Amino acid sequence: MLAAMTKTIRLATDFNPFPFGRYPSHGEWNGQRFRDEWLAPALKDGEMVEVDLDGARGLSPSFLEEAFGGLVRIGFAAKDLSNRLQIKSDRDPSFVDTIFGYIRDAKAA
Amino acid sequence: MNFSKRQKRRARGRAKEQATLRLRYPHHFIFRGPSRLSAGNPRELRSALEFLKHFDDLAAGCEGAVLLDLHDTKYIDLTACVMLAAAIQKCQLGRQLQIDVRMPRNGSARFALKVFGVADDARAGDDVPDEIVEQVMKVTSGMKGDPSPGERTFEVARLAERLDAGETLADRVHAALNEAADNVLSWAYGMNAPPNASERWWVAGLLTTRSATFVALDHGAGIPTTAPQNLGDSLTGLIKAMMQDRGWRQINLKPTDSQILLATIHQRRSVSGLEERGKGLNNMIALIDRFSAGFINIFSGDAVYGYRTPAANEGDKEHCSPLGFNFPGTLIVWRLQAQAFEA
């Protein structure tokens, strides 16, 4: 059996070092865009996905909740996400629990 | 009425100065500023608001250029600088008005206006030294549709890092301010409203050897107006519970602005479970306790909320009360004091 491939998304370099806001009206580098154009396509490929938060600055609750909690609202199962999503945040490890909290608390649409 | 020689001399000087000013700015509408522009307490805040409202009303009726004459202004603080910059920008963007500023003769007031980017000082030799520039975040503004607001608010993190807070804590300061700006873009001017150049948020910061102060402002509907619309039944329920616990009285069967503001801050999450709306303020308040000292004052509608650590003598850390007048929008003054500098 082949080990599942892990795709790494580096938030600061692949997306933007200054993510901001929840929706597109809040700015170009918003949570909804990160979810729809980076996270969801990688997860739909069926791979393990690691998101590296280090280097990104000023990560606000709105951005993180829309990007990660929003995955549940667009159809991903919270349990599946907890198995296939890894968060790397060496600078502020509290983000790991925060993000999985958003996923756990989000309600499917 | 008898005037002393000194009074007569002063009146002659003033008339001469006005004539010179009129010759220098023949096509400007001249609007004179107050001697003190400050938001250090509610009384001064009210005076500053009245001045800015008067300025806005007069500018609205102008067709040509406006000269804001601050020559006799002796004192202006950081919060007033943000409010003045916002008023000027609002007139420039909303009405396409040319607004020139006659700088104060008082050196400190002139320096404050220049260093916070409210107005340019044409005087030679008044360049701001690099070490001062590094301690200041100029008044910065943003609006719905800006490509990268987070890059602008990064200047906040830059100041917090210099407070010896460390990168992680500085990042949390940055995140809290991003969240507050996000809330403004979401709610203050209407969620589905199209981008409008005059519907903005403003922020500025100042670092001293012991503390960092940040000021954020918007001219939106204000938290007491937007929170009940957005948080709905959960906020109503919390207000009812707080009324019973605290013996609050309603006025005309409606909660007051200060009751709504306090309940909004205590409301951690909305019932929908999909938002963290309002978390920006909570994060700001929570961060105060991570530093050795600090405070936050939030003015919105007819309410002022304050949180201070350590608490004032025999007082609570938190207080919320009617302001006595209506603050148009929301003003946040947030100060953090670093432990490393604590004596």
Is the Cβ of B185 closer than 8 Å to some Cβ of chain A? Answer: yes
CATH number of the domain to which B115 belongs: 3.30.750
* pLDDT above 70 as % of chain A: 95
Phi, psi of A58 (to 5 degrees): 65, 45
Q: Are residues B154 and B295 in the same domain?
A: yes
Range of the domain at B108: 11-128
Q: What is the mean pLDDT of residues B308-317?
A: 80
Asked whether residue B4 is assigned to any structural domain, the reply reads no
CATH number of the domain to which B316 belongs: 3.30.565.10
What pLDDT is attached to residue B341?
Answer: 40
Distance CA A53, CA A43 (A): 17
Q: Are residues B309 and B177 in the same domain?
A: yes
Q: What is the mean pLDDT of residues B299-322?
A: 88
What pLDDT is attached to residue B127?
Answer: 67
Q: A99 pLDDT exceeds 70?
A: yes
Residue-wise pLDDT for B9-47, tens only, equals 988 988 898 888 889 888 888 999 999 999 999 999 999
Q: What interface predicted TM-score (ipTM) does this complex get? A: 0.88
Interface contact B168-A92, CB threshold 8 A: yes
Q: Are residues B116 and B145 in the same domain?
A: no
Highest average pLDDT, of A8-12, A24-28, B123-127, B138-142, comes from A8-12
What pLDDT is attached to residue B161?
Answer: 82
CA B37 vs CA B40, B75, B107, B132, B133: distances in Å? 9, 6, 15, 22, 22
What pLDDT is attached to residue B274?
Answer: 38
Residues on chain A touching B177 (C-beta within 8 angstroms): 58
* pLDDT above 70 as % of chain B: 90
Distance CA B138, CA A44 (A): 44
Residue of A nearest to B196 (CA): A25
Q: B270 pLDDT exceeds 70?
A: no
What pLDDT is attached to residue B167?
Answer: 78
Domain ranges (residues) in chain A: 6-105
Domain-terminating residue out of B106, B128, B150: B128
Interface contact A58-B186, CB threshold 8 A: no
Size of interface A-B (CB pairs under 8 A): 100
Q: Give the count of domains, chain B.
A: 2
Residues on chain B touching A22 (C-beta within 8 angstroms): 182, 186
Would you say B167 and A39 are in contact if contact means Cβ atoms under 8 Å apart?
Answer: no
Residues on chain A touching B157 (C-beta within 8 angstroms): 57-58
Asked whether residue B3 is assigned to any structural domain, the reply reads no
Domain-terminating residue out of B72, B104, B128: B128
Interface contact B175-A61, CB threshold 8 A: yes
Question: What is the pLDDT confidence band of residue B217, given thresholds at 50, 70 and 90?
Answer: very high
Is the Cβ of B146 closer than 8 Å to some Cβ of chain A? Answer: yes
